[in-house]
Each structure stands twice: as C-alpha cells, then as structure tokens.
Amino acid sequence: MKTFGVTIHSTGRYVPDNEVYNETLTHWMETSDEWIRKRTGIKKRHLSTGEDTSDLCIRASQAALSKQKIDVSQIGLVIVATMTPDSQSPSVASKVQAAIKAENAVAFDLSAACSGFIYGLSAAEKMLRHMAHPYALVIGGEVMSKTLDWSDRKTSVLFGDGAGAVLLKRDGDTEAFIAEDLHTDGGKGSALVSGEQEVTNPVCTSDAKNGFLTMDGRAIFNFVTKSIPKSITQVVKKGSIDLEEVDFFLLHQANARIIEIVSKKIDRPLYKFPMNIENYGNTSAASLPILLDESIENGTIRLGSGQTIVLSAFGGGLTWGTLLIKI
C-alpha cells in the first residue's frame, strides 16, 4: 500500500486592526506599561471591535489560500482550534467551510486551549493521509477579549485576539511531520478555567459559576518551565536528531520570560526562538500559526528549504505538545 507524506503548503494570518497599547490599559485598571513589559514582554495587543472568532478564522484562511492557488473543492478537512467559538453550534470550522466554499470538507472545532493548534496539526496530518481529497486547513483562532474580566489585571493584560491558518497538502514524495510528543494532565486543569456555564433547568438549583477566564499564573509558569524543555528533548530524540540540528524553535507566545527560560534549559541560543509576543500578546491557539506565518513572511523560515523546526505549545487542560517538522 502506497504511503503518503504531508507537507505545509502555505500559511496565513489575520488580526483585528484595533491595537491597544499598555498605556491604554492604565485607563481601565491599575497597571503600567513598565509592569506589563517587565513580567510578560508585551507592548500591545489587537482587540476585536466586533469581529467574532469565525470572522478572524475566515480571513486567516483566505490569506493562506491566496498564496497557493488551489481548487477549494480539493480541501477535504477544516479543523479550527479555539477556546472562544462563536457558539457551541454551528462550529467555527463549519462557518469557515461555508465561507471559503470548501464543499467537500469535513469541518469541526477542537478544544485544547493554547495547545489547540499543535493538537489540530497532529490530528489533521493523520486524517489527511486517508482522505479522498489532498488538502486540509488547520486554523487557530481566538477572540480572547470576550472571555476576560477587564478589571482583573492578572489576566486581562496578557491576551489578544487573532487567527492563523496552515494549508496542508498530501504529497507522495515529501514528509514534513517527523515526530510528536503530546500530553494532557487533567488533574491540574483548574489552573486555567474559562467559559464555565451554569447547570440550570426546571429540576435543579442553579450552581453559580464565573464565566470569565481565571488562571493560576504561578502554577502555569512552574508547569511550563518543567514540561516544555522535557517535551522538546523527547521529540528531538524521537526524531533521531540532536538539538543542535534544529534550525528554529517556535514556542507558544504566552510570556517572553518563559521562552527565555526554555532556551536556557535546553542550552540553545535565544535567536533560535522567534518571538512576536511584544505586538500580539497571548492569542492562545492562534499564537503559533501567527508566529509561523510571520516568520515565513520575514524570511526567517522558508517553505521548501528543508529547515528543521520545533513547534511547541502549552495551555489549559492542562495540555502541552511538541511537533518536529521539516519545512
């Protein structure tokens, strides 16, 4: 039986036009530009003025499709990784499928918080190998601003809105996906909670819940700085290469300090860790695809070059995962 490889065919991104600098946040809460930059590395973020998650995902998908002219009827799969869907039904992916007229695509959302794009890529590359159509879209998209308590500076200063998309292609000659390392620790899931809904119906008493995002920042920081270096080391080992052979490490853009610590722990120079958190904040599942598209656009990463790339993310669940790929 013939085996097929899967490659990254194109990428795209979209963020709302509205930029909110740290100084603006001082009008809404007790904080400062210095306080935010020192702890996170964030200077500004993009916040939606009405566009919902599907709007951002549609625009990011169109950007990816505009770079490689394909027949959209050949797209067999659309996965949207998000923790901020427009609604529970229809899915964001269904709205994307309709908007781009990918009539032959199976479409569904995937919920793994900030790790969602890694999980989505892992699922898509496996499904695509066995589908009738040769293309798949994997999108990470979030409107995090609608989940936040804007009086809570511990969380609201961290996040931004945006979407990024990757078009995958089944290819008989080339393979991008070399190894993966995915994990979940549900026992620590209370460290990051968002979108809780009350159970309320005629036969029960409502259990009051807070729908806003809540996060134990210290617990997340400790978890990430231990688990991500280990995950990166494991995936490189599975791929039968050395850390020195990795050209770039693209990490989820949650906190610049975390990325710096990971760089030190695996003893790789910081210039191999592209960062854009300064301009976007934490965009959850959108973080990695936005960074990937931006890195390709500025020439740091070149599609078809054979560069070895590590993609790694972590988030609510708790979830984390790392992919070793050849660009």
117, two tokens:
């794009």
- Looking at residue 193, its amino acid is V
277, two tokens:
């958190």
Q: 79 by DSSP, 3-state: which?
A: strand
In whole angstroms, what is the distance from residue 261 CA to residue 264 CA?
A: 5
Contact 106, 73 (CB under 8 A): no
Strands 177-184 vs 319-326: parallel, antiparallel or unpaired: antiparallel
Burial of residue 318 (number of CB atoms within 10 Å: 0-12, 13-18, 19+) = buried
Catalytic residue flag (residue 204): no
Looking up tokens 């990024």 gives 164
Catalytic residue flag (residue 201): no
Contact 142, 285 (CB under 8 A): yes
The DSSP line for 84-122 is S-S-SSS-HHHHHHHHHT-TT-EEEEE--GGGHHHHHHH
Catalytic residue flag (residue 133): no
Which of 9, 46, 133, 252 does the annotation list as catalytic?
A: 252
Strand partners, 139: 80, 165
- Looking at residue 39, its amino acid is R
Cis peptide before 229 (omega within 30 of 0): no
- 218-230 residues labelled b (16+ CB within 10 A) or e (exposed): eebeebbbebbbe
Which of 114, 183, 201, 276 does the annotation list as catalytic?
A: 114
Other beta carbons within 10 Å of 268 = 19
Nearest CA to 92 among 46, 149, 155, 137?
Answer: 137
Cα 166 to Cα 106, 211, 260, distances in angstroms: 16, 30, 26
Positions marked active-site: 114, 252, 282
